[in-house]
Homo-oligomer: A and B are copies of this chain.
Amino acid sequence: MKKNPANIKDVSRHAGVSTATVSRAFSDPERLSEKTLAKVNASAKALNYRPNFLAKTFRSKRSNTILVMVPDLGNVFFTRVLSGIEQTTSEAGYSLLVIDTKDDLGRESEGIGMIISRRVDGVLQLGKTPIETLTSEDDMDTIPFVHAIEATDDTDAPSVTLDNVSASSKITRHLIGHGHQRFGIIGGPKDSQITRDRLDGVLLALDNKNIEHSSSQTIFTNFNMASGQLACAKLFENDPDLTALICMSDDLAIGAIKQLKSIGKLVPDDVSVVGFDDVAYSGFFDPALTTVAQPAELLGAEAARMLLDKLSGSSNQNFRKVLQADIVVRDSCSQIN
């Protein structure tokens, strides 16, 4: 025997005013006399009234909800970004609808379906698929969309990304500064914009110092530890004399170091290793990892902010925001003799 939550009419009756007045008491309190406002509030409290969000949303065609498409909820980096998003959107009164796309087009399309069926106010894409490929309709440019993390260069959507090129140049120069001349590279998937950018950055720094690098000294794989271990093995088969290893994620680096240890190489004495991300574990790993600190939460927050701005109409420019990353120097690199 559960009774329904009180609705606006119940309150209006209880307070002896019209429903319109009750409505205004919540949406535009200023416009009521103090007296009636107090009356309404009292009644509302007495009846434990909470405006029916569903009805409001239905009426106003705005759900105050943002859809976040996350490629992998099991991946720390993405959830750090998600955390940043949650913080800024919740402050602005928006709720988060979260789907785990697994980078699967089918699931992403379902997500896009929600835009219209659930009247989601905006979309934050953390995966790589550009919105253009997800929706053929012309309403594409009508739905506020921000691409975070991995926007491809040729998408029109506003985006927030890391300056991967300069970050990887920077850490490469760090290694060069230690005297290294013979580099191995373990990259992410070849078709990932992130991988491409980071590779560009490394190559740029290398070229700049006329350091040679052959394509057999680079391996593309997936962003996880097991892959890093495997890739490292291959790399040292190809060229046993590598002295520096640039890994495009900390996970990759951690896997690689495991492999190095298993073939008797000392890190950093025999080979220096760097990563990307500054995962929480990096500092506690042995050796502590020198890496690029990705401002994941900030990235999420910025993306959310950008979307919020679009929603409030204060900016309808399609910005691309590029965040800089710092390198954090720990113990996985040493001077070459």
**How far is B65's CA from A283's CA once the two chains are assembled, in angstroms?**
39
Residues of B within 8 A of A80 (CB): 73-74
Q: Is the CB of A50 within 8 A of B225?
A: no
Q: Is A298 at the interface (CB under 8 A from chain B)?
A: no
Q: Is A128 at the interface (CB under 8 A from chain B)?
A: no
Contact with B along A223-254 (1 / 0, CB 8 A): 00100010000000000000000000001001
**How far is B72's CA from A82's CA once the two chains are assembled, in angstroms?**
11
Known contacts A73-B86, A87-B100, A98-B98: A254-B284 contact under CB 8 Å = yes
Q: Is the CB of A258 within 8 A of B281?
A: no
Nearest neighbor of A107 in chain B, beta-carbon distance: B90
Q: Is the CB of B225 within 8 A of A284?
A: yes
Contacting A137 at CB < 8 Å: which of B48, B258, B286?
B48
**How far is B78's CA from A74's CA once the two chains are assembled, in angstroms?**
9
Scan residues 277-298 of chain A and give those whose CB is less than 8 A from a CB of chain B: 280-281, 283-286, 297
Chain A interface, >50% SS class = helix
**How far is B102's CA from A83's CA once the two chains are assembled, in angstroms?**
11
Scan residues 44-87 of chain A and give those whose CB is less than 8 A from a CB of chain B: 48, 50-55, 57-58, 61, 63, 65, 72-74, 76, 79-80, 82-83, 86-87
28 contacts between A and B (CB under 8 A): A2-B139, A50-B116, A51-B117, A53-B114, A54-B63, A58-B58, A73-B80, A73-B82, A73-B83, A73-B86, A74-B79, A74-B80, A74-B83, A74-B297, A76-B79, A79-B79, A86-B99, A95-B114, A96-B99, A98-B98, A225-B283, A251-B280, A254-B281, A254-B284, A258-B286, A261-B286, A281-B281, A285-B285
Residues of A that sit less than 8 Å from B by CB: 2, 5, 48, 50-55, 57-58, 61, 63, 65, 72-74, 76, 79-80, 82-83, 86-87, 90, 95-100, 113-114, 116-119, 137, 139, 142, 225, 229, 251, 254-255, 258, 261, 280-281, 283-286, 297
